[in-house]
Amino acid sequence: MDFARSLIEALDSLASNKLRSGLTILGIVIGVGAVIAMLSIGAGAQNTITGSISDIGTNLLFVMRGGNEEVRNPKPLTLSDADALRDPFAAPSIIDVAPVLQGSVEITALGESDFVAVYGVIPEHAAVRNINLAEGTFIDETHYLGRAAVVVIGPDVAETLFNRREGVLGETVRLEGQPFRVIGVTVTKGGQGPSNEDNQIYVPLTTAQSRLIRRSTRDRVDIILVQAIDADAVSAAEQEIAAILRQRHKTVIGEDDFTVFTQESFLDIANQITNVFTIFLGGVAGISLLVGGIGIMNIMLVSVTERTREIGLRKAVGARKRDILLQFLTESALLSLLGGLIGIVLGWALSELVGFIAAQSNADINPVVGLDAVLLATIFSAAVGLFFGWYPAKRASDLEPVEALRYE
């Protein structure tokens, strides 16, 4: 029997009981739909994350203390380390260096209070980190040298304290009870959670050292930001930083007591995390497809029993085992393929819905239904239909025509 005719007969058979066919493929529809939705939301989230990692700037490197489990007593990073990195001869790939002290403080004003991340920075920090101000100015040389009690706040902080995102220049706030004058407000970037850049404040590093953040030595800093000349110079810069610090900290290669992060390493970490999620989703998908497939096998067994006489008749007029096998396999494959396709559409609709909701609540996630996800879902749906339809189809093909014709 030619394939086109088998296809038409299979479609006919499925259409003859639409309710039953619909219920049967429900498992596959939901499973595939959920997976497509999750994968596309995940892809959107990954894009957002890589986007904000990219925003950091391709030229930026982060140097932090420790990071190597084998090294017991990592030496802290210091301002002198930062100075050493500025040496144009030892580090020609580096264009700017910005050490940072970080902590968290309680900021209060007009009876409102909030806990925010505070960064003690040098004036170059704004350039290195691409910080733009909505109003006012950033910390300058005078502030830095004079340990001025000035602060640049994020728009979310302004909103919490003053109920407005601008027009707060000159206001006084208290950090850990100490008065500071607001000299600038950063531009809104949008963000969520702990890494929300709109909920951070900046003070001069010297001020932080003396008033807000206690460290064991005066000279200590938490992170050193380094800006390379351009994106291509990043790995050279990485080597130069490592060489300088090894020499200063007197450590050998393989036993560094510091770690240099580049944008690439952040991307790697992000990708690793999303890979874990993808594998997890794969497991969920596998389970739901399994359940859907069992449903198909169940219904096909019923269908074979119901059509015993029909199978007997077909064999009587010349159908061979493989003709019957093909007929029922086509039906089950078609069932699950249909379920997969509907599931893909459902998943797409779901991800659009989530994207819409996210946009409404200012979360920047743009779900993307990837072609590879669609292809994978389609192929797997068909495979499930073939695999779980095999046993019923085999039973149908093994029926003895004489007995099948006698079946009531």
Partner 1 sequence: MSGNDCVIEASGLKKIFLMGEIEVHALRGVDLCINRGEVVSIMGPSGSGKTTLMNILGCLDRPTDGSYILDGSLVSDLDDDELAEIRNKKVGFVFQSFNLLGRQTALTNVELPMRYAGVSNGKRKRAIEALESVGLGDRIRHRPNELSGGQQQRVAIARALVNNPAMILADEPTGNLDSKSGDEVMRILLGLNKEFGTTLVFVTHDPEIAAQTDRVIQLFDGVVTEDRLVEQAST
| Interface with partner 1 (CB under 8 A) | 1-2, 5, 9, 12-13, 16, 309-310, 312-321, 323, 401-402, 405
The angle subtended at Cα 309 by Cα 306 and Cα 313, nearest 5°, is 140
Q: Across the chain, how many H-helices and E-strands are there?
A: 13, 12
| Helix (H/G/I), strand (E/B), else coil: 255 | coil
Least Å distance between CB 30 and partner 1?
Answer: 29
CB of 317 to partner 1, least distance (A): 4
Closer residue to partner 1, CB minimum distance, 2 or 372:
2
DSSP assignment of 302-344 equals HHHHHTHHHHHHHHHTT--HHHHHHHHHHHHHHHHHHHHHHHH
Task: Considering the complex, state which of residue 168 and residue 311 has its C-beta at the smaller distance from partner 1.
Answer: 311
Least distance from C-beta 397 to partner 1, angstroms? Answer: 10
Select 13 or 288, whichever has its Cβ closest to partner 1. Answer: 13
Complex with partner 1: residue 107 or 324, whichever CB lies closer: 324
Is residue 267 within 8 A of residue 53, CB to CB? The reply is yes
Minimal distance, residue 311 CB to partner 1, in Å: 11
The smaller minimum CB distance to partner 1, of residues 249 and 307, is found at: 307
Q: CB 322 → partner 1: shortest distance, Å?
A: 8
Q: Which is nearer to partner 1, 17 or 52 (CB)?
A: 17
- With contact defined as beta carbons under 8 Å apart, do 28 and 285 qualify? no
Q: Among residues 13 and 209, whose Cβ is nearest to partner 1?
A: 13
CA atoms within 13 Å, Cβ hemisphere of 232: 0
| Residue 304 beta carbon to partner 1: minimum distance, rounded to whole angstroms | 15
Task: Mention every residue, 6+ apart, whose C-beta is less than 8 A from residue 194.
Answer: 117
Residue 289, CB half-sphere, CA atoms under 13 Å: how many? 27
DSSP-derived secondary structure for 61-98: EEEEE---TT-SSPPPEEHHHHHHHT-TTT-TTEEEEE
Among 59, 73, 66, 61, CA closest to 222: 66
293 token code pair = 């497939």
To partner 1, the closest distance from the beta carbon of 346 in angstroms equals: 29
Q: Is 201 within 8 Å of 212 (Cβ atoms)?
A: no
